[in-house]
Amino acid sequence: MTTGRPLWWLRAEGLVLLVTALALYGSTHQHWWLVPTAILLPDLLMAGYLGGTTVGAAAYNLAHAYPLPAGLALIGIGRHEPLVLALGLIWLAHIGVDRAMGYGLKYDDHFQHTHLGQIGHSQNEAMS
């Protein structure tokens, strides 16, 4: 579990990722209604928790780590497909929001145990 100043930096990185992904989204010339429509899609993989905490954590982490959305964005760039790029950027923005709010990658013992600390603990407790 990360605490203190490193936790603050990780959460600030999440905010930077969110702002950067949305700024780049603007360059795709896709409709902005797509952002609220698609931004929660990665959370659908929380359904993996129906199969237990090990499966759930693996599914959640797959949807909340950088490689897949970054790869999707790169495919969109390489193939000159603005919609594919836009979806990758929305996915990255989702991860940025989660990190900024303190939702990290999950351990397989329970949903609240993340690399950024325990979800639901007070800000003062987590940041000290």
Question: pLDDT, tens digit, for every residue of 13-23?
Answer: 999 999 999 99
What share of the chain has pLDDT > 70, as a percent?
A: 94
Token code pair at residue 48: 């993996």
What integer pLDDT is reported at residue 97 of this predicted model?
A: 97
Q: Where do the structural domains in the chain lie, given as residue ranges?
A: 4-127
Cα 68 from Cα 73, distance rounded (Å): 9
Average pLDDT, the chain: 92
How many angstroms separate the Cα of 46 from the Cα of each of 56, 103, 114, 117?
A: 6, 13, 14, 18
Q: What pLDDT sits at residue 72?
A: 98
Question: Are the C-beta atoms of 94 and 14 separated by less than 8 Å?
Answer: no
Q: Residue 61 — very low, low, confident or very high, per pLDDT cuts 50/70/90?
A: very high
- Mean local confidence (pLDDT), 58-68: 97
Q: d(Cα 18, Cα 25) in Å, to the nearest integer? A: 10
Q: What is the pLDDT of residues 76-126, one digit of tens each?
A: 999 999 999 999 999 999 999 999 999 999 999 989 999 988 887 554 444
Burial class of 72 by CB neighbour count within 10 A (0 to 12, 13 to 18, 19+): buried
